[in-house]
Amino acid sequence: MLLCAARAQTNAAPAQTQRPAAQPTPTQTPTPMPTPADGEAVERIESDATNLLLTAKDSKGRFVTTLRPEDVRVLEDGVEQQVSLFEREADAPVSLALLVDTSASQEKVLKEEQDAASAFVRAVLRPGKDSASVLSFTGITRLDQPLTKDTDRLLGAILRLKVEYTADNPVCRDENASDEDALRCRTGVWDSVVLSIREVLSKTPERTRRAIVLLSDGDDTSSKVRIYQAVEYAVRNDTVVYSIGIRDKHFREGELRRDFLRDISEQTGGRAFFPKDPEDLPAAFAQIEDELRSQYLISYTPANRASDGSLRKVQIEITNPGLRKERLRLFYRQGYYARNASGPDTHSPRENQHRR
């Protein structure tokens, strides 16, 4: 996997992949861990406290922002837990990675993506508090704008995004093309998710809410990381993935992988959106903005203190009788793996393992 830093003073992509010291190429990616049979999202914790982000919606899909600690209870493996913190996260800083697919399937919709993403950045970033970065990817992930609070820099990076290797590019039909050119003709969705976390979001403060906004059709053709590895890596690093599934309807190769985009979003505590037309992109971004402002942080120290590496299932329930009648929908990660007393899990990569 490669991470290429953008050149700040030019719109053109670098002729060769460069690896500057400030953005080192990751040499490790996460290995898979056991997944619950029912597909629940899980995380690993390295401290005594377990933290959960909770989003609640009513029957009409509106966010509920008036929950109190006494309105809910948390159970771990069926045992009620003593919650030490329950608070709205509306004021907590947000760190975003805007991750944009710039492979050939995005050529006809990229302009609409840029417009909607620019409006989103203007709306969601609070001056001096929130930060964001811009990354783009084909089979190579490129850091177009490192994490910054400067809206103008972000907007400039979004404006410079472009599809360089289009469907009719002869390089992509050349069997003798270099490895780098071949990668630029492909799409590495899951590699890019891991890289955006590893190189950008994982370096933000612990209490920062980390989120990826992924614009792609989810049709991965080159990643060495499998989707469930990317999910596990995101969850371990407290990163929520919001997917916006979009592609050129007339692009003949591949397809819109709704299943994959839903999977990585729902298992990390986010949501996937599938605009029918590019003109619907602003509505998807608006829903992500609303959710980021409507979350609760729940923290507790598990009653089961065993460091046995076991899967702990988590359930959050509404206890307020009045709210129970409203049949609220709760969104949260539904489990985690406890620490293992034998030592830290290094999650060594499998660099030669492909999804397909």
pLDDT digits (tens, 9 = 90+) for 297-347: 899 999 999 888 787 889 999 999 999 999 899 988 777 767 766 554 434
Q: Contact at 8 Å (CB) between 300 and 50?
A: yes
190-215 residue pLDDT tens: 999 999 999 999 999 877 889 999 99
Angle at which helix 110-124 crosses helix 281-292, to 10 degrees, equals: 30
245-265 residue pLDDT tens: 999 888 888 899 999 999 999
What pLDDT does residue 192 have? 97
* 204-81-39-202 Cα dihedral, nearest 10 degrees: 10
H/E stretch holding 71 reads: none
H/E stretch holding 48 reads: none
Other CB atoms within 10 A of residue 53 CB: 20
Q: Contact at 8 Å (CB) between 335 and 312?
A: yes
Q: Contact at 8 Å (CB) between 252 and 104?
A: no
Burial of 321 (C-beta count, 10 Å sphere; 0-12/13-18/19+): exposed
User: In terms of pLDDT, which residue wins out, 191 or 181?
Assistant: 191
**CA–CA separation, 268 vs 332, rounded Å?**
8
- The residue length of the chain stands at 356
Q: Contact at 8 Å (CB) between 244 and 284?
A: yes
